[in-house]
Amino acid sequence: MRYKLLVAATLLLPLTEPVQAQTETGITGAPDPQNQPPASQERSKFPPEYFVPHGLENRRLQVGDEVEVSVFGNRDTVADNLPIAPDGKLYYMFLPGIQAEGRTATEIADEITSKLTNIFNNPEVSVIPKRFISNHFSILGKVANSGVYPLDTPTTVRQAIAKAGGIASGRYHDSTIQIHNYQDSWLLRGQEKIPINFTSLMNNNDFSEDIYLRPGDVIYIASSLDREVYLMGEVNQQQAQPFTAGMTLVQLISGLSSGSGGYIEDRADIKRVVILRDAMNDPKVFKINLEDILHGRGHDVFLEAGDIVYVPEKSFLFTRNLVKDMISTMVSTFASEFASDLNRKYLFEGKYIESRTRVQ
pLDDT tens, per residue, the chain with 360 residues: 444 333 333 333 333 333 333 333 333 333 344 445 566 677 789 988 899 887 666 678 888 888 999 999 888 889 988 999 989 999 998 788 999 998 989 999 999 999 998 888 889 999 988 888 777 888 988 888 888 888 878 899 999 999 999 998 766 555 566 778 898 899 998 888 899 999 999 999 999 999 999 888 899 998 775 577 888 888 887 777 778 778 899 988 886 544 456 888 878 889 989 998 887 677 888 999 999 999 999 999 999 988 889 888 876 545 556 666 666 666 556 555 454 454 444 444 444 444 443 444
pLDDT at position 43 = 79
Dihedral sign for Cα 115, 119, 122, 125, please.
negative
Q: Domain boundary residue among 84, 110, 131?
A: 131
Q: Say whether both 180 and 110 belong to one domain.
A: no
256 phi, psi to nearest 5 deg = -65, -25
Q: Say whether both 175 and 88 belong to one domain.
A: no
Among left, alpha and beta (phi > 0; psi -120 to 50; other), residue 87 is alpha
pTM (2 d.p.): 0.48
Determine, yes or no, domain membership for 61: no
Q: How many domains does the chain have?
A: 4
For residue 152, give its domain range.
Answer: 136-224
pLDDT at position 199 = 93
The residue type of 315 is S
Q: Say whether both 165 and 245 belong to one domain.
A: no
pLDDT at position 27 = 31
Chain centroid to Cα 67, Å, comes to 29
**Residues paired with 89 in a beta bridge:** 99
Q: Say whether both 239 and 218 belong to one domain.
A: no
